[in-house]
Every structure is written in structure tokens, then in C-alpha cells.
Structure 1
Amino acid sequence: MVMQLIAVAVIIVTVYLLIKKYETRMVLIGAGLLLCILSLSPLDALTAFSERMVSSSLIQAICSSMGFAYVMKYTKCDMHLVHVLSKVMTRLGFFLIPATVVVTYFINIAIPSAAGCAAAVGATLIPLLIAARIHPAIAGGAVLCGTIGSMLSPGMSHNAFVANMANMEVVDLIARHSPYSLMAGGIAAVSLAVVALVKKEFKMASVTGDASSSSAQATPEAVRPNYLYATAPFIPLILLVLPFFETFSTFKLSVPAAMLIGAIYALLITLTNPAQITKEFFKGMGNAYGDVLGIIIAAAVFAAGLKASGLIDAFINFLTHSPEFARWGGTLGPFLMGIITGSGDAAAFAFNETVTPHAAQFGYEIPDMGMAAALSGALGRTMSPLAGAAIVCAGLANINPMEIAKRTAPGMIIGVIAVALFML
């Protein structure tokens, strides 16, 4: 019991340090190592660290996807996609708000980084909305709400993590949770539009040439969209989805293969220097290991500390006898951590590392509980003024991030309740 109380105290300190924006990996590894040492099993932390370092399926999916994302950014194919879609939206008036959420959502599938997608999309669409006399906070919120679209991306780290845990293919896992992820996106789009209506933060004006010029000034590098370039970000996604159609059922590619083909396609259509494309691809892979897998490794060490302390066994025993709490603990926990820290990743990874493997004991399945935690963390991050994507959107809209968070909050709260009720 004493060790479990110490573990609770360490968790509180860990949350505090994360709120204060201390380095996430340092905090999680330090907390996990401390708990293992106090539990007289320091090797557990080191074993968890070394084992998670070589999770082949995680490394393949996450690193190759980030390599492809770097190629898209270098060739500016991502910006061409944004500009092509923004041309279609120029006369939607009030419906620019939900349309921006939807467009950002689907672009985020191809560009799974929330902050990167917000920067790429927001530079064009936020000025477009503001020129349509829509409040800057609503404009920024529309782009921010769309950044939960990465839940449907094969390159999103949580998809690879949960699929590996459940012994599933990534695309099968995405197909399983896509109705709920789309539901969350739909709730976000409708809720933000309702907020704009209630607060009367729109004028329903059609966009004029001023909007085009303002968005062009924001992103001068892609003034003339190239429709062929705009297809590149979706090539890997198309290749991974094809096996779901009976005609192409035998055409099955791994995530790294799809990402590599996508990068080669971008190389061929843009006629970019192959050496530079190669450098960018591997640069993205390296950064993915350090930034994304680094958090997964750190979360594994933290989880090892919680297990060594006996807190996880006690928590699982509690949930086994009171399974109704698993529904809310697995959603509201990552959701609140996402709001507080600006990132739902650490909490979702920690929950999925420790509790989700025992989902069957609570009457749930690993894919459902794992992705419910991940989606809830993303929803929490989307209403946090501390999130990188929120700060990017606020900068582009020239407004305080808190103003954006106030407007995205209703949709995110409704969304996490819906996830808890319908996904679990």
C-alpha cells in the first residue's frame, strides 16, 4: 500500500511537470525509473526501454510515414493540395466554417502532424475565412478542429501502436474505428458552426479577390496550384485502401512500401533532385524515431514503473470489479491530460501501455479501448490553448490561443462523451 501511495504521488508530480512544459520524454523516463528503483526492480525500467526501442512494426509505420511527410513538405505538394481545395471553397459563405473543418480533416489524413497540417492549411484557409468576415477565432478554430483527421492516417503513431498490441493490420484497425473518428469530426464541424451562429461571429459574405490576395501573400510559394502535385499526398492512402475493394483484394502493401511509392511518385512528377528527396525522406525517418517513438519508449518506461509499484495491478483489479469506470477512465483521463498539457499522446500511450492490454477483463476489446483513449487525447488537445496546432492557428489568425480554445471546447466535450458512450 505504501508503494502504491508513493506511485500516486509520483503521478501527481509527473502531471505537474508536464503541465509546466518540461521535456515529456525526460519526465516520463525519470518518473518510471524512480518508481522501479523504489520498488527494488530497477532493471524493469531498462528492460522496458530496450524492448520498446526495437518494436519493428511501430518503427516501420511511424518512421516511413514521417519520411513521406518530409518529402511532401520539401516538394510543396502539401501546399498545392491546400490551394486546390481552397479554390473550391471561395464562395461558400457561412458554410466555409464546416467546410474548412472537413477539408482540414481530410488533409490531416495525408499530413498527419497536427501542427504541420495547421500551418499548411491555415496559411491559406484562415485568411480566406477572415476575408469572408468570419471572426478570426472561428477561422482558427475551424482549422484546429480539423486536425483530429490524423486518426484515420496509417502513419499516426497510435494506430500503429494499438494495431501492434491487438495483432492487427493498421488498415484493419483504421477501418474499425473510422465511423467513430468521422463522428468526432462531424461533431466538431457542426458544433463550431453552431458556436459561430450563437455568438454571431459571421457575416455570410462571399469571398472576394481580397481573400485570394491575402491567402496568396500568406503562402507566396504556391500561388498557382498544380493539380498533379496535389494528388501526391494521397497516393499512399489510396494504395493502402485498395485491398478493401474486391477487384484489388490481392494487392496488399505494407505501410513503408506505400510511403516509399508515394515518395517516388512525388519525385517523378516534381522532377526534384533524387539525392535531396532521399535526404529528406531519411531525415523525416530519423526525426520520427526521436520525437514520436521517443515518447512511446518513455511511456513504456513510465508504465514499467507503475507496474513495479503495484499500482497498475490494483487499478486493473478495481476496474475488473467496477467495469463501468473503464469507459470513463479510458476517455476522460487522456482527454483531460490533453487539455492540461496540450498533447494527449503521453497520457494515451501510458494508458494503452498499462491498462488496454487487459481490456477483455473489463468487457471491452483492445482495438476499441486503445483507440478510444487515443481519440479522446486528440479531442482534449484540440481544445487546449497550449497545443502546438492551436498556437499555430492563433498566430495565423493574429489572436490569443485561449479565444480559439473557448470556441472549440463545446464540440470536443460533446465528442469525448460520444466516444465514451458509443465506442466503448
Structure 2
Amino acid sequence: MTIIGIILVILTFYAIVKKYETRLVLMFSGLLMAVIGGTPEIAINAFIKELVDPSLTPIICLTMGFSFIIDATNCSNSLISIITSWLKKAKPILIPATVILVWFMNVALISASGLAAAVGAILIPTLIRAGIHPAMAASAVLLGTWGSSVSPGNPFIAQVAQLADTDVMSIIIPTAPKLFICVIITSVILTLTAYLKKENFSSENTYVKDDHKISNTTKINYFYATIPLIPIVLLIISSPIVGWIPQVSIPIAMLFGTVLCLIVTRPNIKNFANFYFKGLGTGFSDIVCLIAAAAVFIQGMDSIGLTSALIDGMRNSASIAKVSAVFGPFFLAAISGSGNAAVLAFNGTVTPHAAAFNLNIADMGSAVQAAAMLGRCLSPVAGVSIICAKLANVNPMDLTKRNAIPCIIGGIAMIILILL
């Protein structure tokens, strides 16, 4: 069954690369594996669960609604024009600056998918408007979504601290500088990739298409330009790390931004409503349904025993424990699309035995959870990858191709900096 699973996974990724309908491919492959494994009902339940996931579905739909509105009212155009004018003299550092910025924001806002939806709606169009290829723009945002690996709010760091019988900050403080070096390395490699692929900048920007909007004015309105930033500012200053105001959820922040946009721009109410609800529907059909289809695929891998086989194979490689501690969860997250599952699997079965590999639990646990989050940035079926790809209107596999080398080199850097 494991061999059948490997063949099906390879065929699935091949079909995605060939640009067959991603949702259909993932659902068909996942259901087929689940049927072979004898648990089709579990795969179907996983699909239903993701459709109505209260922790993600409202975030995606409300964020997409807000994204449609700020675009339709030219709020995003005003912000993009301002940022682009500032960055004209700093284009060489635009990609690495984006990766590092998103990484730091992910420390405060640990939901990678929520962060990608909220920040990507602004940063990705900005990068595209600056002349960066859409897939490269999405890759830059995606590559920064593992900053939660040094966040005090990350439950997996608490898990490592419990295993090591210490406190959370004792895990974070010695690890954070090393992981920051890794994010710098990955951002530089992605920038070099962009230069080699000639996707860094285009003198004749053919990536931007002007769609119908409520307002067609091209004049920069500095007041309008602040509207897209309001939800992000609210989320940052209300986060537990900053704590300036009571914590605000992402859906509430997006609703607040939407209402503020309506008050400030005073558009035609009917058109405003049409664009907003179109955004909600697009978020559900294009993103939520794709994530739900990916859940069927992941469940299918579990049903056929492929996930457990991968874990067992890596766990039994004690002779290369330092490499498997990083690249085990890294590749498991890359294949399955779930960084959380990879961390839970390894911290539950491998990390407690770190002493047997001449490692301490704190170092091994830190490497495991950081590597899993980095590996997720490589997965075409991860929810955060799907969100970034959709915002750039590209295939998730396009992001995987661009992030592959930066992520792998980042993983090697983790082994050297943390475990050697």
C-alpha cells in the first residue's frame, strides 16, 4: 500500500504541474487513497470539516471580501502607488525585505494562512506593480510565513519546553538569532533566483491588468492609502506580544476595515455590496474549497499508511539523526502540506529520545518545529501556499519551484547552526 501511495502522490503532483484542475486532482487522489485504505468516510469528513472550519473559513472569506473592496475603491492602488514610489530606489532589496518583513509579522501573528491572506492582499499586488513576476511575488510572501517558529504564542515551542523541562523563552532566546540567519539566507537565495530567472523586475510591466473598478481615478489619495493598512495595524497592536489594545481577531479586523472603507470612500452602495460579496464567494470557492480538497489528499495519505511510513523510516535513521531531525519534518510538511502534523509526529516520537542521538531536547525540538514550518513553504498543497498563489493568480506549484532551493539551503543552515 505504501508503494501505491507513493505512485499516487507522484501522479498527483505531476497532474498539478500539468495544470489540471487542482481541486479535482487533490480530491480524486485523496479519495482513491482513502478507498484503498478503507476509510473513505474519514476523507469526506475531512473535506466537510475544512469547508466550515471556524478558525480559517471566516478569515479567508472576509479577507477576500476586504481585498475586493479596497481594490474596487482604488484604496489599494493609492497605497501601491505610494509604496512603489518609495521603493524605486530600493528595488534590489524588495524581495528580501518582503521575506524578512513577513517573517517578523508571523512572530506576532502566528496563523500563517491568516497572515498570508491579510498581508498578501497588499504586498503581492505591490510587488507585481513594481515589476516582479507574480509567482515570484507570491513566493516572497510565502517564504516569510515561518516566523512563528520563534513566537512565544507557538504551542509547539511550549511542547518542546515541556519536554525539555524548561520555560518557553529559554527555548526561543538561543534559537531566534540562528533562525533569523536562516531567513536572511533564504531571502538572499530567492533574490538570486529571481535575478537568474529574470523575474526580479521588468522594465515593461506586463503583469498588471486594470480590471473594472467602482472608481477609475488614478489620482493618489493618501487618506485612501491608509485603509488597507488598518486591519494589519489592529492585528499587530492587539497581538499578545504588543498588547496595546485588547486582542482583535482577523475577521473582526477585516470587517472593521470594510466598514471604514465604506465610510471613507462613500461609493455606490449597490456596487460596493456586489464587489464585497463577490470577494466572499471567491474566497470560499477558490481558496476554502481548494484547502478542503487538500485535506482529502492529506487524509488519503494517512489512510493508506504513507504518512506513518515516512515517519517510521526517518525515525529509524538514528545514524543520520541530525539530518533527519531537520529534513524529516521538512519533507513531511512539504509533501503533506501540514507543518503542524509534521511537528506533532516528530516531537511525539523522536524528540523525547534526543539524548540517544547525542542531542539535547531543546535544540532538537527547536530544529524540528522550525524545519516543519519552513518545509510547509515548499508545499503546493499547504493552505498558505494556496492563498498566496491565488492572490497572485498563479499555480501553487509555481511557488514550489521557486522556493525549493531557498528552503533546502535554509534547512541545511539550520542543521549547521542549531545541531552541529
- TM-score under structure 2 length normalisation: 0.65
Which residue is 2:376 aligned to?
Answer: 374
What pairs up with 1:9-408 in 2 under 5 angstroms? Answer: 9-90=7-88, 92=89, 95-99=90-94, 102=97, 112=117, 120-122=125-127, 124-126=129-131, 143=137, 146-148=140-142, 151=145, 186-187=184-185, 190-191=188-189, 223-244=218-239, 248-322=243-317, 324=322, 325-332=324-331, 347=335, 349=337, 351-352=338-339, 355-361=342-348, 362-363=350-351, 364=365, 368=370, 370-377=372-379
d(CA) in 2 for partners of 1:103, 1:85: 12
- CA change 1:106–1:264 in 2 (3 A) is farther
- CA change 1:115–1:89 in 2 (3 A) is closer
- CA change 1:20–1:5 in 2 (3 A) is same
Q: Name the aligned partner's letter for residue 342 of structure 2.
A: V
Task: Give how far 1:224 is off.
Answer: 3.0
d(CA) in 1 for partners of 2:178, 2:62: 26
d(CA) in 2 for partners of 1:294, 1:111: 17
Task: Give how far 1:292 is off.
Answer: 1.7
Task: Give how far 1:327 is off.
Answer: 1.6
Instruction: Flag structure 2 segments of 5+ consecutive residues without an equivalent.
Output: 106-114, 160-171, 211-215, 352-364, 383-388
Which residue is 1:134 aligned to?
Answer: none
Asked if 2 retains the 8 angstrom alpha-carbon contact of 1:105 and 1:150, the reply is yes
Instruction: Flag structure 1 segments of 5+ consecutive residues without an equivalent.
Output: 127-137, 155-161, 169-175, 202-210, 336-346, 381-386, 393-400
SS at match of 2:222: coil
Asked if 2 retains the 8 angstrom alpha-carbon contact of 1:53 and 1:297, the reply is yes
d(CA) in 2 for partners of 1:58, 1:196: 31
**Greater helix content:** 1
- CA change 1:71–1:188 in 2 (3 A) is farther
Asked if 1 retains the 8 angstrom alpha-carbon contact of 2:140 and 2:190, the reply is no
SS at match of 2:377: helix
Asked if 2 retains the 8 angstrom alpha-carbon contact of 1:7 and 1:35, the reply is yes
Q: Name the aligned partner's letter for residue 327 of structure 1.
A: V
Task: Give how far 1:256 is off.
Answer: 0.5
Which residue is 1:159 aligned to?
Answer: none
Task: Give how far 1:419 is off.
Answer: 6.0
1:289-316 deviations in Å (ceiling 9; x for gaps): 2222222211221222222222222222
Asked if 2 retains the 8 angstrom alpha-carbon contact of 1:243 and 1:252, the reply is yes
1:126-179 deviations in Å (ceiling 9; x for gaps): 2xxxxxxxxxxx88898566443773899xxxxxxx9899999xxxxxxx9998
Q: Name the aligned partner's letter for residue 35 of structure 1.
A: M
Asked if 2 retains the 8 angstrom alpha-carbon contact of 1:7 and 1:309, the reply is yes
Asked if 2 retains the 8 angstrom alpha-carbon contact of 1:97 and 1:192, the reply is no
SS at match of 2:130: helix
d(CA) in 2 for partners of 1:22, 1:374: 22
- CA change 1:40–1:69 in 2 (3 A) is same
Q: Name the aligned partner's letter for residue 72 of structure 2.
A: Y
Asked if 1 retains the 8 angstrom alpha-carbon contact of 2:227 and 2:257, the reply is yes
Identity fraction in percent: 25
Task: Give how far 1:236 is off.
Answer: 0.7
Question: Across the two proteins, how many residue pairs are aligned to each other?
Answer: 351
Deviation larger for 251-260 or 414-423 = 414-423
- TM-score under structure 1 length normalisation: 0.64
- CA change 1:36–1:285 in 2 (3 A) is same
Task: Give how far 1:260 is off.
Answer: 0.5
